[in-house]
Amino acid sequence: MHVPAALKEDYFEACAVLAVSPKASAALSRRCLQGILTKEGYNKKDLVKQINDLLDERDLTKSIPLNLRTTIDAVRHFGNFSAHPLNDVTTLQVIPVEAEEAEWCLEVIEECFEHFYERPALALERKAALDEKLLRAGKPLSKGRPA
């Protein structure tokens, strides 16, 4: 796994507490997402601003796939339900985080790991192997970013 150690630690802890406390799991997923975005250069103080910068990104090499564009903000919201008791305006009851919602947060984090860390690392490994083979054949290296 090519994910930075601190992010893996938060993710595995979020997985471990899911059955006991979906609220804690969602809060850890939120923390994990903020760590991912910070490592990717989105350095605003607030997660909502980091997400906005990510969604407004004009650099095509940093753009995220549609599935993440439509789900990434859910992690922030469920994390906020965990960290800040919000009331349902109709019932005045604190809005809980359900187990399936916390599990969804974990799935989004897994997609982020895949997008930001695993796929790029795999692509670089494959490109390096191809370029090595091309070199042995006396051919020019493949196009794209250098490995």
Both tokens assigned to 73: 């903000």
145 within a domain of the structure (yes/no) = no
**CATH value at residue 41:** 1.20.120
pTM: 0.86
Q: What is the pLDDT of residue 89?
A: 52
Q: What is the pLDDT of residue 87?
A: 54
Task: Give 91's Cβ-side CA count (13 Å radius).
Answer: 6
User: What residues make up the domain containing 102?
Assistant: 5-136
Angle between helices 5-17 and 22-39 (to 10 degrees): 160
For the segment 10-39, what is each residue's pLDDT rounded down to a tens digit? Answer: 999 999 999 999 999 999 999 999 999 999
Q: What is the pLDDT of residue 92?
A: 54
Local structure of residue 24 (DSSP, 8 states): H
144 within a domain of the structure (yes/no) = no
Quote the CA–CA distance of 104 and 114 in Å, as a whole number: 15
Q: What is the pLDDT of residue 91?
A: 56
Averaged pLDDT, 87-111: 81
Residue 94: strand pairing partners: 87
Residue pair 30/47 in contact by the 8 Å Cβ criterion: yes
For the segment 42-89, what is each residue's pLDDT rounded down to a tens digit? Answer: 999 999 999 999 999 999 888 899 999 999 999 988 888 777 665 555
41 within a domain of the structure (yes/no) = yes
Report the domain count for the chain. 1
Q: What is the pLDDT of residue 147?
A: 46
